[in-house]
Amino acid sequence: MLAVVLGVSALRAPPAVAGPPYVTDDPEPTDNGHWENYLYVEGARTAGQRFTPIAGIEINYGALEDTQLTASVPLNTNPGPGGIGVVWAPLGMGVKYRFIEEDDDGWRPQVAFFPSIAIPIGPANAGAPVTELFPVWMQKSFGDWTLFGGGGYTNNPGPGNRDFANYGIALQNQVTKQLALGAEIFGAGKDSIADRPSTSVGIAALYDFNDLWHIVGSANTGISNAHRSDQFSYNIALKWTP
């Protein structure tokens, strides 16, 4: 999910989205001519930042076969020095293109390239750089189990900043027809000269009310450099697929 990925990337590159609701994304694009949308609330606790929930909407559209267009728009109304503003959530845009299809009868995974851009907005993000993420994601299913993950490179310009790598891997089980549960591990390299690499773990749940309405959520905590990168973070979203 672009919203989650960009949000957690913002923790790594202050002020800088998964197979939702994971931070780790998957390569499967929205079906051609269909929509997959999320109204989400997410938050994170890190050193030097308030634990402030961020609301937003993510819109995914299957524009072509194997091609998805994505936009993530923050809707937060957190009062700041200039009035209504955004704490750290960026405006995100991306294009997911799946160039390898999964072999259902063999071991070949599906693979996609999902470049995206994060544009910081709001008074709290004044002077923050525009960042670009260039990841490759893979996925393979085995019965009720799905394994997906990958990683990429984040361009993070600015004085004292460093470009860095992102990565993640997740395992999900379809427990019932309506409920899926999963876990993931994800991380990023140093985003500045003074920072350190970070790693986090998380759990996730996805529940389908019907073909149109769904609810998804995740909770994460850092296991390396957690004080600065991810003491605790969460995401919950109402998903609708018209």
Instruction: Output the six-digit token pair for 63.
Output: 């524009």
Instruction: Please give the residue that has the higher pLDDT: either 53 or 216.
Output: 216
Render pLDDT for 178-208 as a digit per residue (tens, 0 to 9): 999 999 999 999 988 988 899 999 999 999 9
Query: Across 109-176, where does the E strand assignment appear?
Result: 110-113, 116-120, 131-142, 145-155, 164-174
Tell me what pLDDT residue 227 has.
Answer: 67
Q: Are strands 83-85 and 116-120 parallel, antiparallel or unpaired?
A: unpaired
- 3-state secondary structure at position 68: strand
Q: Please report which confidence band the pLDDT of residue 82 belongs to, taking 50, 70 and 90 as the band edges.
A: very low
Q: Residue 231 pLDDT > 60, yes or no?
A: yes
188 forms beta bridges with 166, 198
Handedness of CA 191, 13, 134, 114 (dihedral sign): positive
Tell me what pLDDT residue 19 has.
Answer: 67
The values of phi and psi at residue 8, to 5°, are -70, -35
Q: Residue 56 pLDDT > 80, yes or no?
A: yes
Tell me what pLDDT residue 229 has.
Answer: 62
* Mean pLDDT calculated for residue range 205-212: 97
Compute the chain's Rg from CA coordinates: 17
Tell me what pLDDT residue 194 has.
Answer: 85
Q: Please report which confidence band the pLDDT of residue 85 belongs to, taking 50, 70 and 90 as the band edges.
A: very low
Domains of the chain, start order: 2-240 (2.40.230.20)
Render pLDDT for 13-55 as a digit per residue (tens, 0 to 9): 333 335 679 999 999 999 999 999 999 998 877 766 666 678 8
Helices marked H in 13-94: none
Render pLDDT for 99-147 as a digit per residue (tens, 0 to 9): 999 998 889 999 999 999 999 876 666 678 899 999 999 999 999 999 9
Q: Please report which confidence band the pLDDT of residue 77 belongs to, taking 50, 70 and 90 as the band edges.
A: low
Q: Residue 14 gets which letter from DSSP?
A: S
End-to-end CA distance of the chain: give it in Å, rounded.
Answer: 18
